Structure 1
């Protein structure tokens, strides 16, 4: 088989469905929404409404979140159709293999590895910072040497808390999804309860005059705010990674993906409305605007509770992303593009080999590397996957061998095309350094594919 034919060879749907029967189906629509909300609602809900209002949108940040949700919904519906038609592990990676061929599938998978692992590593460092502040409230101070990434000049050598939280989550996931989902569900409920607490208490301190002028930076400010807060919604795509472990995936996966977006939009808009009503928008350009607003009105105990909500938000986000990473690496190993042991499941129907490798990489990144300059790479990895999924819906509809009795994107083919154009537009707004770093990442990925993956692929022999 020629190189080009192998690069463009499409995976057989039935091979994937048969291989992924090894997973135990335990997850419901409620579990999927908890996974999605856990990934989407993190510390950003306590920060972005204030900083975006102060710098670009004013109180119109409320509409910025709504507009961003509408934009995100176009990609979410494309994901929902794919998840309904192809309930297989690997999310956009597997969709790419089936619709576009092996090499495009690999590119999408490599982009998602970047998104998931880097996102978790970055958040683990944020969790560590909040945890340190939490301990300091009780008079406990961890040694500086174990409180930061490797930087001998600053006397920091390893971020122990960042490593430990990743290991704890990995241990949970290695025990099975039923136990992990129970913990995740409770953490998500705690997080939502804390957000609702802020909204309810904050309502008593709202002054309608703070909403005027509503659009101090004009319509352009609201649009600029929407492009900024768009990334606050990322994470719903991780829900589709769970497809082989979902009961009735044609029904439950679209509910999980679209339901996540709806709940997240309501929560973001509620926090934005109350926060900009409590204080003039110009006073909210802070690292912790929600806590500041509460402390301004001497609600210090509730401000402390918000910190717990922030940690819960980061914890559930890491659960979803580590889970999704392990399923993604499993899918790539299942196809032979990475070593075969990564595509194996144990007697509990869990891909713990891939989970172990993912955990080690994320823990080392979070514990030893300063990730501040790399955080925006998460965005480009996500948008590449979104672009291919949006375009892929058009090709999916043309496949006679793929039957979809579940969710389908409305206003086809207009919405998938709009989604594709919006994703490309957002990618073009990313910084030049982000593009350079991503090109280096994809050059490494291409080298791995041509040196290893192409020669070990199971697709050419239908051994999946």
Structure 2
């Protein structure tokens, strides 16, 4: 998703130098097809191609000029692949070099975001906020589910635990401080963007640059494209650093082949895992649309957070069994608190619940998932009452589960495919070779 976004800003950056990549080398088939259909309708209505949106022009160019291999039109997002290759090389070289690059890019990124917020404030038209929630609170929750991938970087911090001097102290502080700062920036940037243009116009790969271009501030839009290229590069670097280390840890625990824990003798990085990560990110980035990748990333992130939240409940028992005090967790007894919260949720959604049960035979997948969520919430509340579970991880898991039901059905399908593949690897390889299994 980040690589695809990077490609959008990079293409805008090239346009500033009057360099235009062919459409079939700068997008994917799905986006090209939707843009082409939009362009065809507009042209049929008598609108000149030059006046169409950037999405429509790019799609029209890609579909009409793409080379053919048999019956397949060759449409590839090449810039997305290139940046993944470059970032993979940087991650392969080592954590020290990557840390220096990341620090510089993060500082630059925050400075530009603050500049956008301050400057954009003077161009806000409050009429664009009327209505403030055009799709209601349900639309807000659907939007939160769609962009939850934006918070994936916070769990990536934990994957660098081995590089921390004091992980017990530094990791929680780093996560909480980053979470608070970024949440405030997210809210401010969302308010500014939706105030500068109508929210319906933000369905582009480079929204930050688009809003300023739309208002005739092309130099500012160009500057933002430069900064966005740097910003998304830093985000991609964090992801490319984190995933290989997750696989390295899993390999050390016996859940993946030992090749994944192989450390380069010179650079001291998980070399094989880094290369595999680059391939698994770069190849799909050439073909998959940003909207689909966003939903798929969000549902995977939400599910991972659900597992972590429920998994936290057993950490105190494991630490006690091993006589270890590592990573002690704050405890808030949810015995009465969680059942009250679940009861309030049931009361608030009582109309939706009754309608879902009344039309159970004709309901769509989303309402079925909602009923499943309610069943899980009720069971969890009962278990919390009986076993005195900690409130924080349990409510965290339930919140993530609720956000998951807002994800489109096609992402659920691919999520299950990916989960089956992962479970297959676990049962066929990792289950019998894990350290826990060897310890008996």
Per the shorter chain, which TM-score range?
A: 0.5 to 0.7
Q: Give the TM-score, by structure 1 length.
A: 0.65
| Corresponding residue for residue 321 of structure 1 | 239
| Corresponding residue for residue 257 of structure 1 | 175
| Corresponding residue for residue 343 of structure 1 | 261
Q: Could you say what secondary structure the match of 2:399 adopts?
A: helix
**What stretches of structure 1 of length at least 5 have no aligned partner?**
1-121
| Corresponding residue for residue 203 of structure 1 | 121
Show CA shifts across 1:130-166 (max 9, x none): 3223212212233556545687457426543222211
Q: Check if 1:362 corresponds to 2:281.
A: yes
Q: How far apart, in 1, do the equivalents of 2:75 and 2:165 lie?
A: 45
Q: How far apart, in 1, do the equivalents of 2:89 and 2:138 lie?
A: 47
Q: Name the Cα RMSD after superposition.
A: 3.1
What's the CA shift for 1:182? 0.9
Q: Which has the higher contact order (CA 8 A, sep 6+)?
A: 1
| Corresponding residue for residue 16 of structure 2 | 137
Q: Could you say what secondary structure the match of 1:337 adopts?
A: coil
Question: 1:308 and 1:371, CA in 2 relative to 1: closer, same or farther beyond 3 A?
Answer: closer
Show CA shifts across 1:302-355 (max 9, x none): 111122232223211211111111111212222333221211223343211211
| Corresponding residue for residue 332 of structure 2 | 411
Question: 1:358 and 1:196, CA in 2 relative to 1: closer, same or farther beyond 3 A?
Answer: same
* Correspondence for 2:405 among 428, 449, 464: 428
Q: Could you say what secondary structure the match of 1:234 adopts?
A: helix
Q: How far apart, in 2, do the equivalents of 1:344 and 1:462 lie?
A: 23
Within-5 A mapping of 1:23-62: none
Q: How far apart, in 1, do the equivalents of 2:207 and 2:438 lie?
A: 57
Q: Give the TM-score, by structure 2 length.
A: 0.68
Question: 1:418 and 1:275, CA in 2 relative to 1: closer, same or farther beyond 3 A?
Answer: same
Question: 1:371 and 1:227, CA in 2 relative to 1: closer, same or farther beyond 3 A?
Answer: closer
| Corresponding residue for residue 216 of structure 2 | 298
Q: How far apart, in 1, do the equivalents of 2:8 and 2:194 lie?
A: 26
Structure number with bigger Rg: 2
Count of aligned pairs: 341
* Correspondence for 2:415 among 438, 450, 459: 438
**What stretches of structure 2 of length at least 5 have no aligned partner?**
30-67, 334-389
Question: 1:331 and 1:419, CA in 2 relative to 1: closer, same or farther beyond 3 A?
Answer: same
Q: How far apart, in 1, do the equivalents of 2:200 and 2:282 lie?
A: 37
| Corresponding residue for residue 302 of structure 2 | 383
| Corresponding residue for residue 165 of structure 2 | 247
- Shifted more, 400-409 versus 269-278: the winner is 400-409
Show CA shifts across 1:195-235 (max 9, x none): 11111212333456765665566655555554555443333
Question: 1:455 and 1:274, CA in 2 relative to 1: closer, same or farther beyond 3 A?
Answer: closer
Q: How far apart, in 2, do the equivalents of 1:271 and 1:372 lie?
A: 20
Q: Could you say what secondary structure the match of 2:332 adopts?
A: coil
Q: How far apart, in 2, do the equivalents of 1:142 and 1:216 lie?
A: 37
Q: How far apart, in 2, do the equivalents of 1:322 and 1:296 lie?
A: 33
What's the CA shift for 1:417? 1.4
Partners of 2:302 and 2:400 within 8 A in 1: yes
Question: 1:314 and 1:407, CA in 2 relative to 1: closer, same or farther beyond 3 A?
Answer: farther
Question: 1:452 and 1:362, CA in 2 relative to 1: closer, same or farther beyond 3 A?
Answer: same
Q: How far apart, in 1, do the equivalents of 2:278 and 2:401 lie?
A: 31
Q: How far apart, in 2, do the equivalents of 1:237 and 1:462 lie?
A: 29
Q: How far apart, in 1, do the equivalents of 2:139 and 2:23 lie?
A: 41
What's the CA shift for 1:360? 2.6
Q: How far apart, in 1, do the equivalents of 2:264 and 2:114 lie?
A: 41
Question: 1:397 and 1:367, CA in 2 relative to 1: closer, same or farther beyond 3 A?
Answer: same
Q: How far apart, in 1, do the equivalents of 2:23 and 2:12 lie?
A: 13
Question: 1:414 and 1:336, CA in 2 relative to 1: closer, same or farther beyond 3 A?
Answer: closer
Q: How far apart, in 1, do the equivalents of 2:270 and 2:253 lie?
A: 14
